[in-house]
A and B are shown apart, each in its own frame.
Chain A
Amino acid sequence: MLLLTISRIIGHNPMPPAPTAKSARPLSPHLQIYRPQLTSVMSILHRLTGIALALGLPVFVVWLMGLAAGPQTYGMLIDLFKTPVGQILLCGWSWAFFYHFCTGIRHLLWDSGFFLGIKGVYATGWIAFGVSTLVTAAVWAHLLEWI
């Protein structure tokens, strides 16, 4: 009894619930079991785009620092952004931004008590997907035309 208490306190479980063939206890279904749904996919993408944008924020800082350093440094930096890798990254970040922006507003609406029904969740989901993709396409059509 004392041993069990100590092992509980230090976080060691003396009987690990490892699901073997002998003791096949039911496990709660996880990501790879469920069929992907709009709701789950969008939730995961909201998190992934958030992480991507957090990793992109230092690039914005570098852009500001390049601008502060002067025209030569700034020119070199812009050349770097214009390489194929730079363009692909910027394109990805722009979609991530517009997606996270739209689904973020969706989250704020949920927090305020709107669109919490199945219909509202799906409608706002498709709208967020559509708007973010269309705006990204429009932005890049505009940018590529200018370049």
Chain B
Amino acid sequence: MKDKTKSLRTPLAKVRGLGSAKEGAEHWWMQRLTALALIPLSIYVIYSFFAEVVYGGYDGATVWLRNPFAALAAILFVGAGFHHAISGLQVVIEDYVHGECLKLASVIGVKFIGWSLALLATIAVLKILFFANMPMPHA
């Protein structure tokens, strides 16, 4: 049956279903995707925290993160965690901060600070992975 309603939208645009803004679902989708990733990652990090860190102290924690797979899991946890936190905070800011200028500044601030902290955490994990418990060269 032929649709008799007149529309200027092309069939391709209808199929893509993105509307005039061309995007929008990406933020929503990434928040769900990182949530899904964080289920096993956070369980693993918390389990390891109990199994290796609480009982083993500094030595236990460094032995844990010197395992490449543990370091990978920790970095993935940091990446997914910060992505999830940043997109969550962005939604909260967009909902409650009403001044356009302050809103934009807050979102930019959250993204800059958030991703800097995520990279800092990654550098820390890599430093532990490669250099923990190594004798200092000029000690």
Contact = CB atoms under 8 A, between A and B. Distances in A.
Chains A and B belong together in one complex = yes
Contact of A64 (B50, B58, B125): B125
A53 B81 CA distance: 10
B35 A67 contact: no
A114 to B, nearest CB: 14
A101 B42 CA distance: 9
Q: Size band of the A side of the interface?
A: 20 to 34
Contacts of B35: 104, 107-108
A61 B32 contact: no
A68 B128 contact: yes
Contact of B120 (A54, A61, A74, A107): A61
Interface in B32-85: 32, 35-36, 38-39, 42, 46, 50, 54-55, 57-58, 61-62, 65, 74, 78, 81-82, 85
B117 A57 contact: yes
Contacts of B123: 68
A58 interface: yes
B61 A67 contact: yes
Contacts, number: 67
Contacts of A67: 58, 61-62, 65, 124, 128, 132
Interface in A71-128: 71, 74-75, 78, 97, 101, 104-105, 107-108, 111
B131 to A, nearest CB: 8
Interface residues of B, number: 34
Which of A58, A107, A142 lies at the interface centre, i.e. has the most chain B CB atoms within 10 A of its CB?
A: A58
A119 B61 CA distance: 44
A51 interface: yes
Contacts of A74: 58, 61
A85 B16 CA distance: 52
B104 interface: no
A58 B113 CA distance: 10
B34 to A, nearest CB: 10
Contact of B121 (A60, A71, A75): A60
Nearest to B127: A68
Interface in A20-78: 47, 50-51, 53-54, 57-58, 60-61, 64-65, 67-68, 71, 74-75, 78
A67 B92 CA distance: 32
B124 A65 contact: yes
Interface of A: 47, 50-51, 53-54, 57-58, 60-61, 64-65, 67-68, 71, 74-75, 78, 97, 101, 104-105, 107-108, 111, 142-143, 146
